[in-house]
Amino acid sequence: MAFAPRGPEASFFQVLDQHRASLLVALRKGGREPAGGGTHLATRFEDSVGLHMVSHCTTRKIKSDSPKSVKTFALILKILSMIYKLVQSNIYATKRDIYYTDSQLFGNQTVVDNIINDISCMLKVPRRSLHILSTSKGLIAGNLRYIEEDGTKVNCACTTAVAVPSNVQGIQNLITDAKFLLIVEKDATFQRLLDDSFCTKMSPCIMVTGKGVPDLNTRLLVKKLWDTFHIPIFTLVDADPHGIEIMCIYKYGSMAMSFEAHNLTVPAIRWLGLLPSDIKRLNIPKGTLIPLTKQDQMKLDSILKRPYITCQPFWRKEMEIMADSKMKAEIQALTFLSSDYLSRVYLPNKLKFGGWI
């Protein structure tokens, strides 16, 4: 089914189509990235999955007769009983709903979040199988239609965004003719691209933002779109360690959710921008750059030591450029060139000529 409006001529997407063809060939061969591996605490890195748990990982015991863990044990039992009722009744609740059933007992939301993650890990089932959902914060726009679990028909638009559904696994009948999916780190950049009609000009395409560090539902949606359509997926993040970290979460996962890596990671994701090398190539003035803080440098060093970076020599080179310059840049630095340089020149050229790594 065709979507309107249409964007560039078919020839614009030639390199993108070639990239998609190479991704499909790699999928048929059973892998998505160059070979690589390594271990880190209770997780193992595999190029086709990302960070995931190993069977011989370290465990901890919580005893009912131990003064140190008796309260945690009681809270686990309480939440387990609530999960049992949810599953039996075939209804869903959010983590926030769980917390407010007895906020004084739980103390704070983090306690509930950690226990739910522990239960999910202990039972080796995704959180949605416990009938517990997260409140979505992500947004989606572009050429996409789907039906939510309750029958609601959602028709995403190129000019306005809709919220990522809270039960991603329940959506069905997804339809798109998008040539690519662009993950945008920050909501402000996402909204600016909408205001500049980027989705319309680059149609057919899809844009998603997790508004910073992505929530579970945004990651699930990106994974579902990849599994369903196998279209190229790119990230647009700040040229700083925090932006790189966010990109790594989408692509390779996180330690905290490594037990759900198979449902969350998309190793086929590529880094579109903002690349540290772009800063020099585009002659962005030094006055628009920001010095790396000590925390930034520590974060950058940590990422460079991760096992998956051995599979990404071009990523490593970009991060070494950042480390050598001791400077970082936000996407907004491109506005020095022109107010709409990002949507009018930078992204179209990157997409047309294959400027991703």
Q: Pick from 212, 210, 215: which is nearest to 181 by CA?
A: 210
**Letter for the amino acid at 258?**
S
Angle (nearest 5°) at CA 53 between 29 and 65: 160
Q: How far apart are CA 126 and CA 79, in angstroms?
A: 16
**What sections of 131-215 are H helices per DSSP?**
187-195, 198-201
Which position among 92, 100, 146, 250 bears the catalytic label? 100
**Letter for the amino acid at 232?**
P
3 state SS for 294-325: HHHHHHHHHHHCCHHHHHCHHHHHHHHHHHHH
> What sign does the dihedral 211-295-318-224 (CA atoms) show?
negative
100 is catalytic: yes
Report, as residue numbers or ranges, the catalytic residues: 100
